[in-house]
Structure 1
Amino acid sequence: MENNEDLENRRVKNRGGGGAYNNNHYNNPTSSYYQEERGWISWLIPLFVVANVVMFIITMSINNCPRNIRDDDRFHPSRGTSQGECVGRFLGRFSFQPLRENPLFGPSSSTLLKMGALEWNKVVHQHQGWRLISCMWLHAGIIHLLANMLSLVFIGIRLEQQFGFVRIGIIYLLSGFGGSVLSSLFIRNNISVGASGALFGLLGAMLSELLTNWTIYTNKTAALFTLIVIIAINLAVGILPHVDNFAHIGGFATGLLLGFILLVRPQFGWVESQNLPVNARVRSKHKAYQYVLGLIALVLVIVGYTVGLVMLFRGENGYDHCHWCRYLSCVPTSRWKCQN
């Protein structure tokens, strides 16, 4: 053990002080220390971005606001002027719904529902479980899309460069699915769309990666504090009305658990120590607590998915089991109410 500790101490000293991995853990993914850190080329996250943008374009084309407004005027003349005109009519069929209907510059809710938005009744009673996945690729408006895609680029590309497309792709998709399941258990009267659940899953995975690989960081406390503040701010935004914070929470919890399973790194010196004499090697690739955390997380993921899906398809209301959970998604104030 003394040789192992000396080996690790020498590695730390050789790499210098400063941020995690001498400030190169995130800035220099081509570090030769880990075989895992050879620097993958990020292509999956950009592909996800393109897929979301293409789906938004298709959704806006199908929405065809000018035609829908004319049809609405034809059958409901008194409602046409009260709803207002399409925004950006020069865009033709790609113009946005009136801001009174959709302030995010996007399509109508009926179009989103047609394209695969998450809606409790259709999932449970009409057996359209595919909406738990399709809703991840839809966005309520151009503002919603830009906010999510910018976040995905800044968070996802860096993670994919470090851990590869397989692990990050699994975390992204399963986190989005987990967010959809939790959202469906609590939200029945509204539709839900967006990649926010998957994005919060990546944030959760970043937190668990920091915790499970705690011993190989130098500025660990500063990194942990910064990450927690970012997560807290994003979750706090979810208590505003018309924001599906249950998707955020479900995605975050799923990503947090998956990070303990998929983003485990070897302990300091394990790779290079294979070329050293036997008595100077780091004998274990991972530390005991990494195995324990991974096992606990695996059990919780399986149990969580099983219980959530059983409750959902049995038609149970999440509020019946957690009355105070309504405050996780919307906190009533003098400015707004949270009945829906």
Structure 2
Amino acid sequence: MTSRDLERGTKNGGNSSNLPSYYVETAEKQWTSWLIPMFVVANIAVFIVVMYVNDCPKKNLGSERSCVPKFLGRFSFQPLKENPLFGPSSATLEKMGALEWNKVVRGDQGWRLITCMWLHAGVIHVLANMLSLVFIGIRLEQQFGFVRVGLIYLVSGFGGSIFSSLFIQRNISVGASGALFGLLGAMLSELLTNWTIYSNKIAALLTLVVIIAINLAVGILPHVDNFAHIGGFFTGFLLGFVLLLRPQFGWVESQHFRADAHVKSKHKAYQYMFLLAAAVLLIVGFTLGLVMLFKGKNGNDHCSWCHYLSCVPTSKWKCENR
């Protein structure tokens, strides 16, 4: 799947039987991934600090509710009835920078749009996100370097926070999911804008679309902030057209061997069109979103059905009317 597989295959005698089901033609070097591992360490470190601040035994002293497991002392988790994800209390998360509409809009605490993406609701939450980040992020960083992937991660997380704040105004929200969905969105746009260099294009596209659809479908469960997922995904999708451009098929080889006189330009016209359109949509989207947010607008007032994007009521659970 990586952008170096074809190059390795041709150098080893051109035997493509050992290659993945799809690959790209490029001679770019492979970067060493260090930023994504740092993000993983930072998220875990922040979670440990949050649990230290939470100090469940002290704050539940004399209460019938018991922290679990007790042997962890001040690092023990809130009672499972309060937080089934094995984590801190919502009050601690709010204190540490969780996304909360009222504090962002009326309390002049816009920094929460960024801090929330470094917080997690529990051990299950942080482990699921960090495993996803490792599998998705390291490969992207190896292909495109830490600057571009880091920008996509951070800006997508920010975009997810803005979109979430426009629709969820009664609850707090935490997690790196918006940034993770941004990386998934960037993978999809990278495939589309660099279409000519991929082999087995349809297989690659279908695989990625199925993965994205499954992850978005999970977001319709209660207590999952799917608005952050959607906002992060579309932010990363647009950023991919801007930041993840590759030379068209044959250009790299022609530069090395001068073997293909027909390849005159590094990029195709449609790649520049995608880049321009995505850049405009990003600027307009962020501007409109921030203006609406800090004017106190509620996205649900302008979209009566959008709450179904984050939770679909069934016979087994109900959704809060947001």
Alignment TM-score, normalising by the size of structure 2: 0.92
Show the counterpart of 1:52.
43
Change (3 A) 1:20 1:297: farther
Q: Which amino acid aligns with 2:222?
A: P
Change (3 A) 1:240 1:246: same
Q: Which amino acid aligns with 1:68?
A: K
1:21 & 1:231 partners in 2: Cα distance?
Answer: 20
The question of whether the paired residues in 2 share the 8 Å contact of 1:124 and 1:312 is answered with: yes
The question of whether the paired residues in 2 share the 8 Å contact of 1:273 and 1:280 is answered with: yes
The question of whether the paired residues in 2 share the 8 Å contact of 1:60 and 1:94 is answered with: yes
1:293 & 1:117 partners in 2: Cα distance?
Answer: 35
| Corresponding position: 1:309 with 2:290 | yes
**1:185 maps to which of 118, 141, 166:** 166
| Corresponding position: 1:141 with 2:122 | yes
1:255 & 1:58 partners in 2: Cα distance?
Answer: 29
1:230 & 1:148 partners in 2: Cα distance?
Answer: 15
Aligned length: 310
Question: Which structure 2 residues correspond to residues 254-273 of structure 1 after superposition, within 5 A?
Answer: 254-273=235-254
Could you list the runs of 5+ residues in structure 1 that have no partner in the other structure? 1-10, 26-30, 74-79
| Corresponding position: 1:216 with 2:207 | no
The question of whether the paired residues in 2 share the 8 Å contact of 1:21 and 1:218 is answered with: no
Moved more, 215-224 or 195-204: 215-224
Q: What is the Cα deviation at residue 281 of structure 1?
A: 5.3
Could you list the runs of 5+ residues in structure 2 that have no partner in the other structure? 1-9
Question: Which structure 2 residues correspond to residues 101-140 of structure 1 after superposition, within 5 A?
Answer: 101-140=82-121
Q: Which amino acid aligns with 1:258?
A: L
1:329 & 1:20 partners in 2: Cα distance?
Answer: 39
Q: What is the Cα deviation at residue 339 of structure 1?
A: 2.0
**2:73 maps to which of 92, 99, 119:** 92
Secondary structure of the equivalent of 2:297? coil
Show the counterpart of 1:164.
145
Question: Which structure 2 residues correspond to residues 185-264 of structure 1 after superposition, within 5 A?
Answer: 185-264=166-245
Q: Which amino acid aligns with 2:31?
A: W
**Percent of aligned pairs with the same amino acid:** 72
Q: What is the Cα deviation at residue 337 of structure 1?
A: 1.4
Change (3 A) 1:132 1:233: same
| Deviations 1:210-242, CA, capped at 9 Å, x for gaps | 111111111110111111010000000000000
Change (3 A) 1:334 1:144: same
The question of whether the paired residues in 2 share the 8 Å contact of 1:17 and 1:218 is answered with: no
The question of whether the paired residues in 1 share the 8 Å contact of 2:114 and 2:161 is answered with: yes
2:122 & 2:247 partners in 1: Cα distance?
Answer: 42
| Deviations 1:19-43, CA, capped at 9 Å, x for gaps | 9887555xxxxx8x323xx111000
The question of whether the paired residues in 1 share the 8 Å contact of 2:225 and 2:310 is answered with: yes
Q: What is the Cα deviation at residue 276 of structure 1?
A: 4.7
Show the counterpart of 2:156.
175
The question of whether the paired residues in 1 share the 8 Å contact of 2:250 and 2:260 is answered with: no
2:187 & 2:58 partners in 1: Cα distance?
Answer: 45
Show the counterpart of 2:57.
66
| Corresponding position: 1:298 with 2:244 | no
Change (3 A) 1:119 1:199: same
Q: Which amino acid aligns with 1:41?
A: T
Change (3 A) 1:287 1:118: same
1:216 & 1:127 partners in 2: Cα distance?
Answer: 47
Moved more, 148-157 or 275-284: 275-284
Moved more, 281-290 or 202-211: 281-290
Q: What is the Cα deviation at residue 269 of structure 1?
A: 2.2
1:117 & 1:19 partners in 2: Cα distance?
Answer: 46
Q: Which amino acid aligns with 1:280?
A: A
The question of whether the paired residues in 2 share the 8 Å contact of 1:20 and 1:220 is answered with: no
Q: Which amino acid aligns with 1:257?
A: L
